[in-house]
Amino acid sequence: MEYSAKGDGVAATKGEHARLGRWLARPRANRLKLPHIRARSGEAPEARLQRRNVRLQPWVAGLRKIAPLQRLCGLKSALPWRVSARMRPGCSLHGAAIDRASPSPYAARIMAAECLNQLLELIDEPGLADLGPGPRTGVESLASLNQRIDSIFAAVSRPRNAELIRSLILLWHDHLDASHNISQGENNSDGSLVHAIMHRREPDYSNAKYWWRSTGDHPCFPAIAKTIAPTIASDTVLAGQILPSGKWDPFAFTDAVQSGIRKPVDDSRHQLLKEIQKAETAAVLEHLLT
């Protein structure tokens, strides 16, 4: 099966896909020139440049749509046509199908990106989570939520941290007891992290800090810091508290939540803390999937 990206009435060839993949694999500083496209006889340079851009623009746009994929694998290769070597009908991505029973490394990354997109949709509902235990109005029932999570996992190879992912999603939907039953049984840094977030929302701040100490310097902390930095740029006091030297401080954020939860729900600081909490959840979710 051949993958062909079409747009503006022009289809990019497999060779152009490969050249674009090699171009994307270069360091950013060396991406000044797009892959070469052979000039036609008597064709002016300007016309060749325009033809090249017309042919490659839809392909670049198609890759850019897979935002989580860019984060998961850095877009280091011409993924779709290489993945097509192991395709079978049933699961589509921009018109192509992926062999999910025995995926190539490239296909596995695309499957992870698809899974992440669907899981991120679950934390868009039903709005920002409370700083405390809730429950909010409109949260999905435990049975229904578990069914949706199972259906997402059934569509891909089951993630290594599937149960911790479930715990985090259940926590977002205010099912604290069900989330706790899972996270307390995971004796590792990832389990301690989800466990700490649960106790912060309980709220049991001293217990949350105990589990933050057990978590240690977690590898997803830089991603959290990078995500929330623009959000809190206007609040220099809070930024200095929870991002000292640009590094995420979960202990300081726990203190900020303990203070902010006493403020009215419509207070700007209270709302900002809830937005930070969502960014934290999304970053942890992405880490657990990789």
Q: What pLDDT shows up at residue 92?
A: 40
Look-up: residue for tokens 């051949």?
2
Domain ranges of the chain: 6-103, 123-289
Q: How far is Cα 202 from Cα 84, in angstroms, rounded to an integer?
A: 47
Which amino acid is located at 122 in the chain?
A: L
C-alpha radius of gyration, the chain, whole number? 23
Q: What pLDDT shows up at residue 19?
A: 55
- Burial code of 34-49, b = ≥16 C-beta within 10 A, e = fewer? bbebeeeeeeeeeeee
Segment 221-241, tens digit of pLDDT: 999 999 999 889 889 999 999
Q: What pLDDT shows up at residue 284?
A: 94
Helices (H) and strands (E) in the chain, counts: 14, 4
Q: What pLDDT shows up at residue 113?
A: 75
Whole-prediction pTM: 0.67
Segment 240-253, tens digit of pLDDT: 999 999 999 999 99
Phi, psi of 162 (to 5 degrees): -55, -45
Is-contact 174 139, C-beta < 8 A?
A: yes
Q: What pLDDT shows up at residue 76?
A: 35
Give pLDDT < 70 ranges for the chain: 1-41, 43, 45-46, 48-111
Is-contact 21 79, C-beta < 8 A?
A: yes
Q: How far is Cα 41 from Cα 54, in angstroms, rounded to an integer?
A: 19
Q: How far is Cα 275 from Cα 130, in angstroms, rounded to an integer?
A: 10
Q: What pLDDT shows up at residue 7?
A: 36
Q: How far is Cα 128 from Cα 275, in angstroms, rounded to an integer?
A: 7
